[in-house]
C-alpha cells in the first residue's frame, strides 16, 4: 500500500506584498520522517514554514496536511487543522505571563476534558520529556534560551500531535545544548513516530538527524536540491549546494 | 513643425511627470486608508464576537489577567490620578475665584469646579492619563508579543488573540476607568474646596453640601458614560496598534506612540459627540 504524504506542497509560490520570495515549490513529507528545509539566510525558509502552518496565505499553489488543504480551509476547519500539529518557534514563543507549566496547561484547559489532577500529570510528563520537570513554576524569562526552546517543544507536544514543526531549533545555542536538542528531536521521532519538519541551516544538525531535506536558494527562488543529506554531499551536481554543504571548503590547518 | 511637435511632446511628458507622482500619492493614500478602515472594522467585529462569547462563556474569560490589568491600570494609577485631579480642581477654582470675585459671584466658584470636573474635565483628564499609561502599555505588550512570535504561537494553537489578549484588557479598563474617574472627580472637588476655604473663606461643610446639591443624575451619567466609552477606545486602540507592530523593536515603539496619539484624538472626538448628545 502506498503511503499518503503527511505534508504535500504543490506548485507553491509565496512572498510579501507583491514580491515573490519562493516559487513553484513541490515536495512531500512522509509519515515518521525527519524532514529538513534548509537554505542560506534570507532565502525564505521561515516564510515557507509560516505558509505551511497557515499563518500566511500563499500567492499560488496548495498545501495539504494529512490530505486536507490548509490554504483553502475555512476558518473553523483551519483552526481544527492547526490543532493537529505542534509548532516550536525560534525563541520558544512561550507566553511570557504564564509559567512553563501554565503554558502547557493552557492547551489542556482549552481542548481536553481531563480532570485537574490528570492535567497536572500531563504537564509534568511533557516537561519531564524535555528534562524540565523541576522548572514547572519558572517563568519564561527566568530560564535560558535552550531551556525555553525545550519548554516550547513540551508545549507543542501537549496534545500529542503526530506532526511537529520546528523553526531554527538550534539557532543561538552552544554546541552541547544544540546536540542535546537534536538528540531530543531524534528520540521524539523514534518513540512517537511523529513526522517532524525542521527549518534550519545548521549543518551539524542536518547531518545528525535528517532523513530527507530540500535546499532552497535565494537567487533561484526555489528548490535547488533534494534528497538524503549524505547522498547530497557526495553526489550533488549543483555547485552552490556543494559549497553550502562543505561550508565553502573552509577548514583551518593547524 | 517637427520642432513644435517635439516641444509639445516634451510638455506633455513633463506634465505627466508632474501629475503621476501626485496621482500615485492620492492612490496610495486611498488604498492605505481603505485598508485601515477594513482592518478597524474587522478588529471591532472580532472584539464584538469575543465579547458575546465572553458573556455566554464567562468561565472562559482570562480572569487572572483581567485582575492583573485592573491592578496595573487601577491601583497603580491611583496616586497620579488623585494628584492630577486635585491640582486640576485647585487651578480651576483659583482661576474661577480671580474672575468671579470681580463680579461678586465668588459663591459660584464651586459650581464651576464641580460641573466642569464631573461632566468634562474629570473624565477627559483621567482618560488622557490612562491613555499614557494603559494604552501605550497595551500596545507595547502586544507589539512585543508579536515580535517574539507569541501571537503566532497563539494562532497556531487555535486560540483567538482577541479573546486571550484584548478582552481581559478591555474588561479591566471598563471596570477601573469609571472608578478612577469618580476618585479623580472627588480629588478635584477637594482641590476646589481648598481654594474656596483658604482664598474665599467659604466654610468646607457649606461648599460640600452645595456641591452635593448641584450634581444631578444626568451630570453624573454624562461623566460615567464618557468614562466607559473612553475605556473602550483606549484599550481597543492600544491593542489594535499593538497588533500592527511587526519585525523589530522600533515598530513596538511606534505602536506605543501611535496608541497614545490616536487614543487622545479619539477621546476628544468621542467627548464632543457625547456632550452634544447629552445637550440635545
The residue of chain A with its CA nearest to that of B61 is A110
Give the rounded percent of residues in chain B with a pLDDT score beyond 70. Answer: 97
DSSP symbols for B64-119: HHHHHHHHHHTGGGHHHHHHHHHHHHHHHHHHHHHHHHHTT-GGGHHHHHHHIIII
Which of B65, B150, B159 has the CB atom closest to A110's CB atom?
Answer: B159
Contact: B153, A87; criterion CB under 8 Å: yes
Query: What would the mean pLDDT of B60-89 be, rounded to a whole number?
Result: 91
| Tens of pLDDT, residues B92-113 | 999 999 888 888 888 888 888 9
Question: Which of chain A's residues have a Cβ under 8 Å away from the Cβ of B155?
Answer: 55, 82
Identity of the residue in B65, B152, B158 whose CB atom sits nearest the CB atom of A93: B152
Please state the pTM of the whole predicted model: 0.82
Dihedral pair phi/psi, residue A59, rounded to 5°: -70, -40
| Contact by Cβ (8 Å): B99, B105 | no
CATH code for the domain defined by A1-84+195-247? 3.40.50.300
- What is the predicted ipTM? 0.84
CB atoms near residue B275 (< 10 Å): 13
Question: What is the predicted pLDDT for the residue at B17?
Answer: 67
Whole-number Å distance between alpha carbons of A210 and A36: 6
* pLDDT band, residue A2 (cuts 50/70/90): low
Edge-to-edge strands of the sheet including A68-69? A19-29, A7-16, A60-65, A68-69
Say yes or no: B157 contacts chain A, CB-CB below 8 A: yes
| Whole-number pLDDT of residue B11 | 73
How many beta-carbon contacts under 8 Å exist across A and B? 45
Q: Is A75 exposed, middle or buried (0-12, 13-18, 19+ CB in 10 A)?
A: exposed
B68 contacts A95? CB cut-off 8 A: no
Nearest to residue B178, comparing CAs of B218, B132, B231, B128?
B231
* A169 in contact with B, Cβ within 8 Å: no
Rounded average pLDDT over A193-212? 88
| CA-based R_g, chain A, Å | 19
**What pLDDT is recorded for position B234?**
94
Q: At what angle do helices B217-244 and B2-56 cross, to 10 degrees?
A: 120
Whether residue A195 is predicted with pLDDT greater than 60 in this model: the reply is yes
Q: What whole-number distance in Å separates Cα of residue A103 and Cα of residue A81?
A: 21
The arithmetic mean of pLDDT across residues A187-213, rounded, is 87
Say which residue the cell 520546528 belongs to.
A166
- DSSP β-bridge partners for residue A68: A65
CB atoms within 10 A of CB A135: 19
Q: Does B154 touch chain A (CB under 8 A)?
A: yes
Q: Which residues pair with A225 in a beta bridge?
A: A215
Count CB neighbours of A227 within 10 A. 14
Note whether A72 and A116 are within 8 A (CB).
no
Integer Cα distance of A55 and B262 in angstroms: 28
B248 against B57, higher pLDDT: B57
Helix residue ranges per DSSP H, A95-216? 100-111, 116-129, 145-156, 175-192, 203-209
Cβ <8 Å between B153 and A95 = yes
% of chain A at pLDDT higher than 90? 33
Residues above pLDDT 90, as percent of chain B? 47
Nearest to B243 by CA among B103, B82, B40: B40
For residue A253, is pLDDT > 60?
no
The confidence band for B260, taking pLDDT boundaries of 50, 70 and 90, is very high
Whether the Cβ atoms of residue A126 and residue A158 lie closer than 8 Å to each other? yes
A50 in contact with B, Cβ within 8 Å: yes
The percentage of chain A sitting over the pLDDT mark of 70, rounded to a whole number, equals 96
What is the phi/psi pair of residue A16, to 5°? -120, 140
Could you give the angle at the alpha carbon of B277 between the alpha carbons of B273 and B279, nearest 5°?
115
| A44-86 confidence digits (pLDDT tens) | 888 999 999 999 999 999 999 998 999 988 888 888 888 889 9
What is the distance between the alpha carbons of residues B162 and B142, in angstroms, rounded to a whole number? 11
Q: How confident is the model at residue A243 (pLDDT cuts 50, 70, 90)?
A: confident
Quick one: cell of B176? 477601573
Amino acid at each position: 500500500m502506498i503511503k499518503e504524504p503527511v505534508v504535500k506542497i504543490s506548485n507553491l509560490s509565496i512572498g510579501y506584498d507583491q514580491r515573490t520570495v519562493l516559487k513553484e515549490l513541490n515536495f512531500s513529507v512522509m509519515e515518521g520522517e525527519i524532514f529538513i528545509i534548509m537554505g542560506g539566510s534570507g532565502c525564505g525558509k521561515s516564510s515557507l514554514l509560516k505558509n505551511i502552518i497557515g499563518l500566511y496565505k500563499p500567492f499560488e499553489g496548495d498545501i495539504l496536511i494529512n490530505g486536507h488543504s490548509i490554504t483553502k480551509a475555512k476558518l473553523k476547519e483551519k483552526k481544527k487543522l492547526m490543532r493537529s500539529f505542534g509548532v516550536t518557534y525560534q525563541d520558544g514563543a512561550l507566553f511570557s505571563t504564564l509559567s512553563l507549566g501554565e503554558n502547557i496547561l493552557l492547551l489542556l484547559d482549552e481542548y481536553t476534558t481531563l480532570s485537574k489532577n490528570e492535567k497536572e500529570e500531563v504537564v509534568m510528563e511533557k516537561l519531564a520529556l524535555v528534562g524540565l520537570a523541576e522548572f514547572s513554576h519558572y517563568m519564561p524569562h527566568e530560564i535560558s534560551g535552550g531551556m525555553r526552546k525545550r519548554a516550547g517543544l513540551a508545549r507543542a507536544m501537549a496534545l500529542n500531535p503526530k506532526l511537529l514543526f520546528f523553526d531554527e531549533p538550534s539557532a543561538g545555542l552552544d554546541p552541547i545544548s544544540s546536540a542535546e536538542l537534536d538528540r531530543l528531536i531524534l528520540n521524539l521521532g523514534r518513540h512517537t513516530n511523529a513526522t517532524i519538519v525542521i527549518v534550519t541551516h545548521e549543518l551539524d544538525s542536518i547531518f545528525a538527524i535528517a532523513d530527507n531535506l530540500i535546499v532552497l536558494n535565494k537567487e533561484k527562488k526555489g528548490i535547488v536540491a533534494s534528497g538524503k543529506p549524505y547522498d547530497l554531499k557526495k553526489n550533488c551536481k549543483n555547485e552552490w549546494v556543494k559549497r553550502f554543504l562543505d561550508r565553502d571548503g573552509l577548514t583551518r590547518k593547524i | 513643425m517637427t520642432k513644435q511637435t517635439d516641444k509639445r511632446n516634451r510638455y506633455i511628458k513633463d506634465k505627466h511627470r508632474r501629475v503621476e507622482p501626485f496621482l500615485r500619492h492620492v492612490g496610495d493614500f486611498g488604498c492605505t486608508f481603505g485598508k485601515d478602515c477594513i482592518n478597524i472594522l474587522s478588529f471591532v467585529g472580532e472584539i464584538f464576537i469575543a465579547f458575546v462569547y465572553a458573556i455566554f462563556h464567562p468561565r472562559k474569560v482570562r480572569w487572572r489577567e483581567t485582575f492583573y490589568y485592573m491592578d496595573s491600570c487601577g491601583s497603580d494609577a491611583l496616586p497620579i490620578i488623585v494628584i492630577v485631579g486635585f491640582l486640576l480642581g485647585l487651578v480651576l477654582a483659583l482661576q474661577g475665584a480671580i474672575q468671579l470675585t470681580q463680579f461678586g459671584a465668588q459663591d459660584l466658584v464651586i459650581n464651576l469646579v464641580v460641573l466642569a470636573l464631573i461632566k468634562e474635565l474629570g473624565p477627559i483628564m483621567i482618560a488622557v492619563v490612562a491613555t499614557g499609561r494603559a494604552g501605550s502599555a497595551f500596545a507595547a505588550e502586544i507589539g512585543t508579543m508579536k515580535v517574539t512570535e507569541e501571537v503566532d504561537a497563539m494562532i497556531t494553537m487555535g486560540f483567538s488573540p482577541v479573546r486571550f489578549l484584548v478582552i481581559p484588557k478591555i474588561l479591566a479598563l471598563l471596570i477601573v476607568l469609571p472608578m478612577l474617574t469618580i476618585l479623580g472627580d472627588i480629588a478635584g472637588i477637594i482641590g476646589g474646596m481648598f481654594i474656596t476655604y483658604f482664598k474665599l473663606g467659604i466654610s468646607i461643610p457649606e461648599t460640600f453640601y452645595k456641591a452635593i446639591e448641584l450634581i444631578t443624575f444626568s451630570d453624573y451619567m454624562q461623566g460615567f458614560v464618557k468614562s466607559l466609552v473612553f475605556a473602550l477606545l483606549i484599550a481597543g486602540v492600544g491593542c489594535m496598534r499593538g497588533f500592527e507592530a511587526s519585525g523589530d523593536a522600533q515598530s513596538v515603539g511606534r505602536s506605543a506612540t501611535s496608541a497614545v496619539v490616536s487614543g487622545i484624538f479619539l477621546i476628544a472626538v468621542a467627548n464632543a459627540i457625547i456632550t452634544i448628545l447629552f445637550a440635545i
